[in-house]
Amino acid sequence: MKILVIEDEPAIQRQLIEAFKEANYAVDASGDGEEGEYMGESGSYDAIILDLGLPGKDGISVLKSWRANGVTTPVLILTARGVWSERVEGIDAGADDYVAKPYQIEEVLARIRALVRRAAGHVSSEIKCGPLRLDTKSTRVTVEGNPVKLTSLEYRLLSYLLHHIGRVVSRGELVEHLYEQDFDRDSNTIEVFVGRLRKKLGVDVIKTVRGLGYCIEDPEKVNGEATADS
Amino acid sequence: MLGSIRARLLVFSAIPSLLFLIVGALVVLGLARGIQREDFIDTLEVELFQFVAWAHVNDDGTFDPQLPGATRFETAFSGWYYQVFQMNDARGIDVVATSQSLQQARLNIPNIPEDSNRWFAETVGPTGDRLMIVVQRVRASTLADNRPIPNPDDQFFIAVARSTEPLNETNQLLYRALGIGIAIGVVYLALSTIFLVTFTIAPIQRAQRSLHAIRSGDAKRLSGSFPREIEPLAEEINLLIDENEKVVERARTQVGNLAHALKTPLSILNNDAQEGDTSLSNSVREQVALMRGQVDRYLARARVAATSQVLGARTEAAPVIARLVRALSKINLDKGIEVSQNVPEGLYLRGEQQDLEEVIGNILENAFKWAKGRIEIHVRKVDEDLVFSVCDDGPGLAPDERPQALRRGQRLDETTPGTGLGLSIVSDIVSAYGGEVELDEASIGGLEVRVTLPSAR
């Protein structure tokens, strides 16, 4: 899971970055409207936090040009004035949710979690796959009720695959969504992480699709199809 | 009484005119009566002089009662009479000749003055009518045309009288004419005063109506043409309205800037204090929460206070509500909440769009947060008010929790994110408009928030 924070106030930007890293997200950040717009268009983010009052180019314009250029990433806007016309304007420009300043970080976290989940088509904050459960709220992973301790990157990997359950995810896509912009990327390390993750989980949920990537199959759907076949 | 222009116009125009009219009428009446009386007396004197010329005494000194005269002195009780008499020693009257018109009656002669030869008097005639009488004292020698007579120093009195009845009749005519004249004058005065007052005051009343329309939110500025005396006043009022708007706009901008300036550091402080669990970070968290509450509350109030000063603001409810519902439905898409809106077009709030957005936005946000699947919005006009009702099918609030929900900084639910200021800001804004917020149980199960705000025509 990778998010983009566009916020010009350094202290707030720092707090957001810290909080989201702590919640096992990869975080890129910008304090400028035009730079942020470019990053949002080129990088693959699972969600974007956008402050409306930005130097360079204001948030509403940034948002409008993203939507005009086909960027569908969920966007959470931060509104400072807290007046409703600003929120409505933001939503009309294509925002998916808003948080009014002054806000609590937990609230921003909760909204982003919900946006990512919603974009992936999940309703509950807990994603299940057979004996495996991932709670996006507490960032806890359990297998048959037993907690599994994961590193931030391993969690991100599992979370991304689970959010896109039943779909084959390429290594390139994983790299895009797991690493921060200035990270030295090496798609080979993905295999290492997947191997470690399989070992820690102890259950065989992550399938390798040769030449394409990885996939976590939805057991309910597989079972359903099986029943239909028989 | 002079506090009203109408009264001033009446006092300074109608009343003097009326007095002038009455004085004029009285002068005319006095003159007419004087002239008439003069004329009356003149005729009487002419008759008298004729009788004096005709009268003569016989050689023996007795008066010759054979006097010529017009028919009016012969017709019985015609109102024209003469009588010749002498004074006897007992200061009584010995009549020596009378007109036929007197028949057997005699003229009642008032006291005879000693020192004048001719005088006028009024008396009562034989038929009870009033007579004007003129009496001439004549020496017997004069009547004898210098013929020798035995009693040349005897005095004869020749009296000619005439009924004043014709005088009364013409007076009646005069009174009637004057009465009609005065009545016409009064009616004319009344009408002209009413027209004067109406046409003078009309532009002032127009200005007043126009001002009322501005205050009640039906108009933005004073419009229409006014007379030259009022035109500058209307212009000044329009300038004042413009200035007022500018001041409010400036105040609002500054309030917004202040909000922005305060909210960011408060957010930072608060989030940094989340890290630790020391007494310092706890205290910072607590105080920041208090400050945030105060900042939000007072900013909302200052904004509303500035807003309620704006004259002539009116906002149609339907588009504002539709826009808010569209935005909130979009971000709550996954909840699958069905919103039914019963908001007739053409309902206007007497107030700013931003305030209506704050009120309805906060209420709707709450409803979306709690609703299970349904939200109902109704707006209707009740007398001079608009009543907004928002119902949800969520858990609702127990009756004893409701007053608390409207109070400042209260959050009934500590687990759902939010500042908890939503409904208290609603309550602040609504009370600034003199409106009312009520919480009730909705017919669809959850909470009903009912807001009453002033309506503009």
B276-328 pLDDT, tens digit per residue, is 778 888 888 888 888 877 777 777 766 666 555 556 678 899 999 999 999 99
A44-92 pLDDT, tens digit per residue, is 899 999 998 888 888 999 999 999 988 889 999 988 766 788 889 999 9
What per-residue confidence (pLDDT) applies to A96? 92
Q: Tell me: pLDDT of B103 over 70.
A: yes
Mutation for B interface: A9, A83, A84, A98, most B CBs within 10 A: A84
Q: Does B267 touch chain A (CB under 8 A)?
A: yes
Residues 6+ apart with CB under 8 A from B321: B341, B343, B360, B377, B379
Q: Using 50, 70 and 90 to split pLDDT, how confident is the model at B1?
A: low
Q: Are residues A15 and B259, on separate chains, in Cβ contact within 8 Å?
A: no
Mean confidence (pLDDT) of chain B: 83
Which range has the top average pLDDT, A170-184, B88-102, B329-343?
Answer: B329-343
> Average pLDDT for residues A161-184, to the nearest whole number?
84
> Average pLDDT for residues B191-213, to the nearest whole number?
84
Selected residue with higher pLDDT from B30 and B401: B30
Of B259-268, B322-331, B366-375, the range with the lowest mean pLDDT is: B259-268
Q: Are residues A96 and B267, on separate chains, in Cβ contact within 8 Å?
A: no
What per-residue confidence (pLDDT) applies to B355? 86
Q: Using 50, 70 and 90 to split pLDDT, how confident is the model at B414?
A: very low
A6-48 pLDDT, tens digit per residue, is 998 888 899 899 999 989 899 999 999 999 999 998 878 999 9
| Rounded-to-integer distance, Cα B101 and Cα B107, Å | 11
| Rounded-to-integer distance, Cα A119 and Cα A191, Å | 26
- The answer to whether the beta carbons of residues B343 and B377 sit under 8 Å apart is yes
Q: Are residues A91 and B264, on separate chains, in Cβ contact within 8 Å?
A: no
What per-residue confidence (pLDDT) applies to A35? 92
CB proximity under 8 Å: B 327-366 to A: 327, 330-331, 333-334, 353-354, 357-358, 361-362
What per-residue confidence (pLDDT) applies to A225? 44
Question: Token pair for residue B208?
Answer: 């007043």
Question: Token pair for residue A154?
Answer: 């391993």
Contacts of B327 in chain A (CB under 8 A): 87-88, 91-92
Distance to chain A for B404, nearest Cα, Å = 22
Q: Does B263 touch chain A (CB under 8 A)?
A: yes
Q: Tell me: pLDDT of B210 over 80.
A: yes
What per-residue confidence (pLDDT) applies to B107? 87
| Rounded-to-integer distance, Cα B140 and Cα B117, Å | 14
Contacts of A87 in chain B (CB under 8 A): 327, 361
What per-residue confidence (pLDDT) applies to B305? 60
> Average pLDDT for residues B440-452, to the nearest whole number?
91
Q: Does B414 touch chain A (CB under 8 A)?
A: no
Contacts of B353 in chain A (CB under 8 A): 85
Indicate the pTM of the whole model: 0.58
Residues 6+ apart with CB under 8 A from B347: B316, B317, B318, B379, B380, B381, B386, B455
B314-345 pLDDT, tens digit per residue, is 889 999 999 999 999 988 888 889 999 999 99
Question: Token pair for residue A197?
Answer: 């993750």
| Rounded-to-integer distance, Cα B301 and Cα B327, Å | 25
Q: How many CB atoms neighbour CB A199 within 10 A?
A: 8
Give the β-pairing of A206-209 and A146-148. Answer: unpaired
What per-residue confidence (pLDDT) applies to B171? 84
Listed residue (B262, B447, B128) closest to A9, CA to CA:
B262
Query: How far lies B111's CA from each of A147, B93, B119, in Å?
Result: 148, 11, 11
Q: Whose structure tokens read 């907004």?
A: B388
What per-residue confidence (pLDDT) applies to A221? 63
| Rounded-to-integer distance, Cα A177 and Cα A85, Å | 34
Q: Are residues B331 and A91, on separate chains, in Cβ contact within 8 Å?
A: yes
Q: How many A/B residue pairs have CB atoms within 8 Å? A: 81
Q: Tell me: pLDDT of A227 over 70.
A: no
Q: Are residues A83 and B357, on separate chains, in Cβ contact within 8 Å?
A: yes
A109-143 pLDDT, tens digit per residue, is 999 998 988 888 776 778 888 888 888 888 889 98
> Average pLDDT for residues B39-65, to the nearest whole number?
87
Q: Tell me: pLDDT of B399 over 90.
A: no
Q: Whose structure tokens read 């043409």?
A: B225
Q: Give the ipTM of the model, two decimals please.
A: 0.73
Q: Is the peptide bond before A102 cis (omega within 30 degrees of 0)?
A: yes
Q: E strand or H helix at B140, and its extent?
A: helix B140-143
Question: Token pair for residue B251?
Answer: 């105040």
HEC secondary structure over chain A: CEEEEECCCHHHHHHHHHHHHHCCCEEEEECCHHHHHHHHHHCCCCEEEEECCCCCCCHHHHHHHHHHCCCCCCEEEEECCCCHHHHHHHHHCCCCEEEECCCCHHHHHHHHHHHHHHHHCCCCCEEEECCEEEECCCCEEEECCEEECCCHHHHHHHHHHHHCCCCCECHHHHHHHHCCCCCCCCCHHHHHHHHHHHHHHCCCCEEEECCCEEEECCHHHHHHHHHHHC
What per-residue confidence (pLDDT) applies to B360? 94
Q: Tell me: pLDDT of B375 over 50.
A: yes
- The answer to whether the beta carbons of residues A87 and B327 sit under 8 Å apart is yes
Q: Using 50, 70 and 90 to split pLDDT, how confident is the model at B63?
A: confident
What per-residue confidence (pLDDT) applies to B241? 85
Question: Token pair for residue A186?
Answer: 């090496």
B95 - beta bridge partners?
A: B85
State the amino acid at position A112 in one-letter form: I
| Rounded-to-integer distance, Cα B178 and Cα B26, Å | 9
Contacts of A11 in chain B (CB under 8 A): 268, 272
Look at residue B110 and give its three-state secondary structure.
coil
Which residue does chain A place closest to B422, by CA atoms?
A82
Q: Whose structure tokens read 């297998």?
A: A143
- Least CB-CB distance to A15: which of B259, B272, B362? B272
Please state the φ and ψ torsions of residue B375, each to the nearest 5 degrees: -135, 135
What per-residue confidence (pLDDT) applies to B418? 46
What per-residue confidence (pLDDT) applies to B415? 43
| Rounded-to-integer distance, Cα B425 and Cα B355, Å | 10
| Rounded-to-integer distance, Cα A102 and Cα A99, Å | 9
B167-184 pLDDT, tens digit per residue, is 888 888 888 988 898 899
What is the Cβ-side half-sphere exposure of residue A41, based on CA atoms within 13 angstroms? 15
Give the β-pairing of B93-98 and B80-87. Answer: antiparallel
Distance to chain B for A225, nearest Cα, Å = 27
Residue A182 C-alpha from the chain's centroid: 18
> Average pLDDT for residues B211-236, to the nearest whole number?
81
> Average pLDDT for residues B403-430, to the nearest whole number?
63
- The answer to whether the beta carbons of residues A57 and A37 sit under 8 Å apart is yes
What per-residue confidence (pLDDT) applies to A63? 93
| Rounded-to-integer distance, Cα B327 and Cα B321, Å | 10
What per-residue confidence (pLDDT) applies to A223? 52
